Amino acid sequence: MAIRYLSEHDSPDDPGGLIREALGLGEEFPGPAEDVALAWILRLGQDRDPAEAATRLIADYELDREPGPGGACGRLVAILRETAEFPAQRMTRHLCQPRRRGGWRRKRP
């Protein structure tokens, strides 16, 4: 069952217009930015790459200019920029590498 959002700012990259509405508040956005970012990623669904969506939002909402907004709104922009740096291919490469377990103490008799 697909979820349908009633926001006029609804788009595939910003379901429900959540990011746009938070950014529209500007300095009045109370935060926390991490909660909004998590809700946004969960709304994207499994078939969309958050990094690609974040990259498009940064371009569409002109968030690539410096200096960014301050406060919680600025933190949200920073989270979007950080998300854009980690596409699915990069995450898969890091998450699938085997980790070394044990160390020198494990090999001692």
Q: What is the CA radius of gyration of the chain?
A: 18
Q: Could you tell me if residue 109 is inside a domain?
A: no
Q: How many residues does the chain have?
A: 109
Q: Provide the token pair at 68.
A: 């960014």
Q: Could you tell me if residue 41 is inside a domain?
A: yes
Q: Could you tell me if residue 46 is inside a domain?
A: yes
Q: Could you tell me if residue 108 is inside a domain?
A: no
Determine which helix (DSSP H) or strand (DSSP E) holds 84, and give its type and residue range: helix 71-84
CB proximity list for 28: less than 8 A, separation 6 or greater: none
Q: Could you tell me if residue 34 is inside a domain?
A: yes
pTM of the model: 0.73
Q: Could you tell me if residue 9 is inside a domain?
A: no
pLDDT for res 99: 62
Q: Could you tell me if residue 30 is inside a domain?
A: yes
For 62, the domain range is 15-95
CB proximity list for 100: less than 8 A, separation 6 or greater: none
**Based on the structure, what is the number of domains in the chain?**
1
For residue range 37-94, list pLDDT tens digits in order: 999 999 998 888 999 999 999 999 898 887 777 888 889 999 999 999 988 776 565 5
